[in-house]
Structure 1
Amino acid sequence: MTRHTDVAEPSGVAVRVRGLQKSYGAVYAVKGIDLNVRRGEIFGLLGPNGAGKSTTVEILQGNRARDGGEVSVLGWDPANAGRQERARVGIVWQDQSAPGDLTVREAVHHFARYYPDPRPPEEVIELVGLREKATSRIKTLSGGQRRRVDVALGVIGGPELLILDEPTTGFDPAARRQFWDLVRHLVAVDGTTVVLTTHYLGEAEALADRLAVIVGGKVVAEGTPAMLRGHLGDEVVVEWTDTGGRTRDLRTTTPARAVAHLMREFGGEVPGLRIDRPTLEDVYLHLTRQAARP
């Protein structure tokens, strides 16, 4: 049996994971994950369905026991967490939903009672942009508004660490960007540390300071979005339209030189000129396909 003990961490570390393992029968969900999440950063976990992301965050939150490895969350082991420790971690699950017959105000005030030192409920309602819906029953809200209620319940305890598991699933583009602004506010104003799982690569690139790509229960790449894009090298694609109206392209590591050559060739403006650099989605697909190879 694994013995879980609390571990004192450096002040700059919010989450430390070493050799994390979890299996369900003969199937390994997590196979030795190592992670460091710094205080005050947004750390993203990317990976296909079944990669081990949700299992990892469930272990961080203390809702699932691990089979092996070391885990420290804000300096304590989530396997041994008491009420005081758990109150320092907020979580918004993908399928979370508050009771529909309650109003927004009733739900936020009710859940505030579970915490020893909650944030003022009216302040939280304002924070998530639901002041005008405070007296509305949750079942009458739009999907995006209900998700804001979920976030309100996740932050009502004033958490130092907020875990967001696929938080914007089903959002329209406008609601998703409003949610991003809310997360940035929590980090910038409150100093909240955020661990985010998402399938939206644009969301990960827009929000995360650093990312880890998990495939088959293992971390296959980690770093800033710019560092991850470096996995495909420095090559970019220069595209233009030739004199016959055909689209041409050139892969090169010296795009400025290529564009200068084209400008001389065309005597100035280059028709249809585009320069495309590898996106995070390109890198993600490359990493997941590479990791899936036998």
Structure 2
Amino acid sequence: MFNIDLTTILFQFINFAILAVLLYFLLFKGAIKKSREARELKHQQEKELEINLAESEKIKRDLENEYQQIEEKAREIIEQEREKFKKEAKGILLKAEEEADQILLNARQEAQIIQQKSFADYHEQIIDTVIESCRIMFDHTAPDEIHHSLVKQMNERIWELGRKEMQTVETIRKSLKDREPLVELVTAKSLTVEEQGTLVRTFSALADRNVRLEARVDPNLTAGLQIRMGDLIFDNSYQAKLLLLREGIKKEFDRLSLEDE
């Protein structure tokens, strides 16, 4: 049998305990500390990771919200620009339509003016043809008595002026005060001696003094005569009557043209 020495056992136990303590401080304590530090570091990293994840989520949400706001703003801007473009396009279209309508109106007015001018020119040609035909026909068919009748009418008209319009007669006499009392006479046909004498006496009475008569023949008058004394002109020729007829026909054409518009 073995002899058990308690002192030795106790001493060995103490040595083991001391060795365990030394090992703890030398080996295990450092490892435990490192393990604790590692756990703390891991915990801190996990916490930081959670914080980073939370911040990432927040940033993500913020970015999504910002993107959504940008998208809404972009849609709003696009819609505004679309409406603006529609308005501008509508305005341009309306302006183009107005310009087209104005161009069409101007074209119609110009066409109407051209048409009216063509009608007016045509009417003028008709009137001129009618008047010229009347003149030629009268020139070839009218007897000399018509010419002498127009001369007689002129003489009677001057005497009628002296009887009914003395104020006009006085005005004529005043206008001749500082002038030579000259009577310029244009006749369609030669006057008889009696007609010349009658006219001289008539215009001498009108001027209240003796007058000098200068006469010449112009066949274009067709019949009758024209007389000028000072600023006063008397016209009792067939040509003057044709001009009055022409003016009346033209007025009637113009009236009919206005009624047709």
Common fold: TM-score over 0.5: no
In proportion to residue count, which structure has more helix? Answer: 2
- Greater relative contact order, per chain length (Cα 8 Å cut-off, separation 6+): 1
TM-score of the superposition, structure 2-length normalised?
Answer: 0.21
Structure whose alpha-carbon radius of gyration is higher? 2
In proportion to residue count, which structure has more strand? Answer: 1
